[in-house]
């Protein structure tokens, strides 16, 4: 089916593996262009745009970004929208 990885592992034309990537973080609302820092414990974060758009991941795995939010449901929706937008751009369905 696929792998937990930092990007796609599909290297052959017939490869069809799903790549699921943890370590996703969004900057605060309205600060979309800011860099995302690590957590001081070695965790390095990437945005959905970088992981899905640049690294070729198919699914993002979000933990603390949602669980520690003041409004977890709204934050989960924000992650979903950003990941879907990155996927549409990567597949040429949106610019």
Q: Which residues are annotated as a binding site?
A: 43, 63-64
The annotation places the binding site for substrate at 43, 63-64
Contact 77, 26 (CB under 8 A): no
């Amino acid at each position: 089916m696929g792998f937990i990885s930092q990007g796609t592992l599909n290297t052959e034309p017939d490869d069809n593996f799903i790549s699921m990537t943890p370590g996703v973080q969004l900057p605060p609302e309205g600060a979309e262009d800011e860099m995302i820092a690590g957590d001081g414990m070695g965790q390095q974060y990437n945005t959905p745009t970088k992981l899905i758009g640049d690294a070729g991941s198919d699914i993002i795995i979000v933990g603390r970004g949602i669980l520690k939010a003041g409004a977890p449901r709204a934050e989960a929706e924000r992650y979903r929208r950003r990941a879907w937008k990155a996927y549409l751009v990567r597949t040429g369905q949106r610019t």
